[in-house]
Amino acid sequence: MKFTGTHSVGAIPDRAFDLLTDPEVLARCMPGCETLEQVGDGVYTIGVSAGIGPIRGKYAGRVVLSDLHPPERYTMSVDIKGTTGFVKGQGGVALTSEGEGTQVTFDGDVQIGGPLAAVGQRLHASAARLMTRQLFSAIDAEARAAP
C-alpha cells in the first residue's frame, strides 16, 4: 500500500525535526505506543497496541531512523509484528518551512500481513490516515507548548 500525506507542525523546521526524531516525544505522541527504547544509533524497539476494525492486538518490533539530514529530511522504517499480523514499511519524511511552521510530507510503502490484512484491508487507508493525523496533532501540540 502506498502511504503518503502532508501535515503541519507549529514550529520551525529545526525544532520540528528534533521533535519528530526524539524517541520520548514519539513515545508520547504515537497512538497506542506503549514502549519505545533506543537500542542503537537511530534504532529503536517499539511496542504498540492498536486496532483496525475488529482486529486488535499488540505489536512489537523496531523503528529505524536513517539518512538523517536535519532539518530537511530523513528516512523511517518500521517493522512490527504481533499475534494479529505484521506491518512493514519504509518511507521518506521531508520538512519544508511554511510561514511560522513546518510542512511535513511523507511518502512510503507499507506492507500489511496476516489477519490484519485479511480482515481489515478496507480500513487500512482510513486507519493509517487517522493514526498519522493523531500523531501529528499530538506533535503539533508539543510544538506549540512551551519548549
Partner 1 sequence: MPVSKTVGARIKRREDPRLIQGLAHYVDDIKLPNTLHVAILRSPYSHARIGAIDTDAAQNLPGVKAVVTGSDIKDTIGGIPCAATDPEGFPGIKVPHHPVLAIDKARFVGEPIAAVAATSAYIARDALDLIEVDYDPLDAVNSADAAFADGAPVLHEDWDDNMAFTWQIAGGDIDAAFAEADHIVSQRIEHQRLVPNPMETRGVLAEYMRGKDQLTIWSSTQIPHLLRTQLSIMLDMAENHVRVIAPEVGGGFGCKLNVYAEEALLGHMAKTLGQPVKWIEGRRENFLHTIHGRDQTGVVELAVKNDGAILGLKYAVTADVGAYYQLLTPAIPTLTGLMLCGSYTFQNVQMDLKAAFTNKMATDAYRGAGRPEATYLIERMIDIAAHDLGLDPLDVRRKNFIGTDAFPHETGTALAYDSGDYTAALDRAVEMADYDALRWQQAELRDQGRYLGIGFSTYVEICGMGPSAAMPAGGWESSTVRVDPTGKVTVLTGVSPHGQGQETTFAQLVADGLGVGLADIRIIHGDTDAVQYGIGTFGSRATAVGGTAMVHAMGKIKDKVIKIAAHLMESNPQDIVLEDDKYCVQGAPESGLTLAEIAQVAHVGVGLPPETEPGLAESHFFEPPNFTYPFGTHIAVVEVDADTGEVELQRYIAVDDCGNIINPLIVEGQVHGGIAQGVGQALYEEAIYDESGQMLTGSFMDYALPKAHNFPRFELGNTVTPSPVNPMGVKGVGEAGTIGSTPAIANAVIDALKPFGVRHIDLPLRPEKLWKLMQERNDDSL
Q: Counting contacts by CB under 8 A, is residue 34 touching partner 1?
A: no
- Of 2-10, 15-23, 79-87, 133-141: span binding partner 1 (CB under 8 A): 79-87
CB nearer to partner 1: pick between 5 and 115? 115
Q: Counting contacts by CB under 8 A, is residue 6 touching partner 1?
A: no
Total residues contacting partner 1 by CB under 8 A comes to 16
Taking the complex as a whole, how short is the minimal distance between the CB of residue 60 and partner 1, in angstroms?
11
Q: DSSP alpha helices (H): ranges in 6-114?
A: 13-20, 23-29
Residue 99 Ramachandran class (φ > 0 left, ψ -120 to 50 alpha, else beta) = left
Q: Counting contacts by CB under 8 A, is residue 51 touching partner 1?
A: no
User: How far is CA 11 from each of CA 36, 75, 98, 103, 109, rounded to the nearest angstrom?
Assistant: 24, 20, 9, 9, 27
Q: For residue 120, give the amino acid letter.
A: G
- Of 5-13, 15-23, 32-40, 81-89: span binding partner 1 (CB under 8 A): 81-89
Out of 91, 114, 135, 138, point to the residue binding partner 1 (CB under 8 A): 114
Out of 4, 35, 38, 111, point to the residue binding partner 1 (CB under 8 A): 111
Taking the complex as a whole, how short is the minimal distance between the CB of residue 84 and partner 1, in angstroms?
9
**Contact yes or no for 106/4 (Cβ under 8 A):** yes
Bridge-based pairing state of the strands 33-40 and 43-52: antiparallel
Residues shown for the chain: 147
